[in-house]
Chain A
Amino acid sequence: MNIDERLQEAWREAVPAGMDLADLGRRVTRQRRRRWLLRAQELVLTLVALGVFGHALLFGAMGPAHWLLLPFFAVFLPTAWLIALRVPRAHTADLTAPMGRYVELRLKQLRTGLRDLWLARRAAVALIAYAAAAFAGAWLFGDIRWREAAVVLLAYALLWLLGTMWVSRRLRGQWLSEYRAIRRLA
């Protein structure tokens, strides 16, 4: 058997076995539902934060915790949306484009994603710097309410920094690898 016949035969004999083809529609629906739930979760979190701060601002009930945590959410919300919404996921329109066009679009998306990750890391570092300054200020000049709020802020900022670094490290490696692979196709 020559190589052409061997390739052709090998290609044709490879079909998915044990796969319930009638189930494909259900699997796609499940996956779409999962994505939708994730997006809904992000939306709810944003609305809760806006509600809490909006209410406090409107009714003049801003306490130390509000003032100190406001900058935290000012970093948290844009970053979460930046990563969640601008994540360089290939969109339907891009995927149906010919390979050359897809490569161009994908490179742009990945570059934007990598820049957003860089911004997220910088924002997390800025937040921890702010939290440390607020902590020192509250400890020197504030009463117990300010100190408690400053400790909470510092803890949140630290967790945020660790979380951002973890997510960023994981995604950055993945996107960089994809970027290099796609660039070779350009």
Chain B
Amino acid sequence: MHALWPKVESMAPQLWRAVSGYELNPSLREELFQEVLLAVWEALPRLRDAEKLLPFALRIAHNLGASHVRAATRHPSPLAFDEAAHAATGRDESGTTQSQWLFEALATLPVKLRQPLMLQLEGFDYQEIAELLGITADNVGVRVHRARARLKALSREEENHEH
């Protein structure tokens, strides 16, 4: 086992969130998560700087997620979002967990907008996201802004619908 594997295991929540941003169906999400873990395992010897393990693992997760996204939409989710698989606590008045709302809302965004927003939510700054995605920091800013605007509109729409 690679010396850094225990660190990868401690990053499971981050990898899980990245995977959840691409797949809502619990069994397909689990499959994608396994695939990401395997790819990270195999890629570990290529990692030069151990300090950059998280961006390294997340880059793999997002690359695989981008490849996965279309396959998932070909098999519409036969199951509802698996709340039990998420240790989420916050619920709104309709009983929907916050994370459930977020992942369902993220699924409506194109991958180009979704990726930078997910990475920003994970705590990366524009420059780090730009390096991860191979785009400019300005471009990251534009994409994040658009993604937030869309989610904001979606949230407002839902609020109006509820009232």
Contacts and interface: CB of A to CB of B under 8 A. Distances in A.
B43 A95 contact: yes
A17 B85 contact: yes
Contact of A92 (B9, B42, B67, B97): B42
Contact of B87 (A6, A17, A97): A17
A184 B111 contact: yes
B74 A15 contact: no
B143 to A, nearest CB: 12
A173 B38 CA distance: 25
B74 A181 contact: no
Interface centre among A21, A31, A100, by most B CB within 10 Å? A21
A11 B122 contact: yes
A9 B90 CA distance: 9
Contact of A15 (B1, B87, B110): B87
Contacts of B5: 25
A99 B39 contact: no
Given A31-B38, A100-B135, A178-B67, 9 more contacts: A11-B121, A19-B16, A24-B9, A28-B41, A94-B63, A102-B63, A174-B71, A177-B74, A181-B67
28 contacts: A3-B148, A3-B151, A3-B155, A7-B148, A10-B98, A10-B101, A11-B17, A11-B121, A11-B122, A13-B88, A13-B98, A14-B13, A16-B12, A16-B86, A19-B12, A21-B9, A28-B38, A92-B39, A92-B43, A94-B63, A95-B60, A95-B63, A102-B66, A177-B71, A178-B71, A180-B70, A181-B111, A184-B111
Interface of A: 3-4, 6-11, 13-19, 21-22, 24-25, 27-28, 31-32, 90, 92-103, 106, 173-174, 177-178, 180-182, 184-185
Interface of B: 1, 5, 8-10, 12-13, 16-17, 20, 34, 37-39, 41-43, 46, 56, 59-60, 62-64, 66-67, 69-71, 73-74, 84-90, 97-99, 101-103, 110-112, 115, 117-118, 121-122, 131-135, 148, 151-152, 155
